[in-house]
Homo-oligomer: A and B are copies of this chain.
Amino acid sequence: MIFEEKLIESERIYEGRILNLRRDKVTTVTGSSYREIVEHNGAVAMVVLTDEGNIIMERQYRYACKRAVLEIPAGKIDKGETNPQAAAERELKEETGYTASEIIYLGGVNPSCAYSEEVIHLYLMRGLSKGEQELDDDEVIEIVEMPFDEVYDMAVRGEIADSKTLAALLMAKGRLQE
């Protein structure tokens, strides 16, 4: 039986654009402690495969990491949006121009279960049709089409640093081998 920490009192610290922060006093086995919690509305990320076995990757500058990061297409779930798959289809269209006729749900993952409520819903998408990118004015995203197996080998060698991409590659590879 795992001890469940319960809320005693909560302090709002920050309400922002993509995240909020609060500090909760919670019950622990020895009495009480504080948990710093990032609130985030959730996100989606997609392994998008062409008929030729290529994967659609993105390279974009990530200010928090101070470098360009190679990752799968992804995006935030809008406030009030209740259908993660609709968010995934929208983000794929905006960022890459693609729509997919086959969409398989892989699962939901917690990027930082120690301090963040964020859940990222992962999808495998195939049966692509190409349209136009519809990026926001300040989005700069380079689309990179690469053989899936090459990206997977990079992941094994520690050359892909983005954890949602790694989680989705593991699940997609397993599903493709079934």
**Interface positions of A (Cβ within 8 A of B):** 2-5, 13-14, 16-19, 21, 23-24, 26, 28-31, 33-38, 40, 43, 59-65, 68-69, 71, 105-120, 122, 137-138, 140, 142, 152-153, 155-159, 161-164, 166-167, 169-171, 173-175
Check if A117 sits within 8 Å of B65, measured CB to CB.
yes
Contact of A18 among B5, B36, B120 (CB under 8 A): B36
Copies of the chain in the assembly: 2
List B contacts of A174 (CB < 8 A). Answer: 152-153, 155-157
Decide: A110 near B161, CB < 8 A? Known: A3-B140, A64-B117.
yes
Q: 9 closest A-B pairs (Cβ-Cβ)? A: A107-B158, A156-B174, A166-B167, A28-B138, A163-B163, A2-B68, A170-B170, A111-B111, A62-B113
Q: How far is the CA of A2 from the CA of B67 in the complex (A)?
A: 9
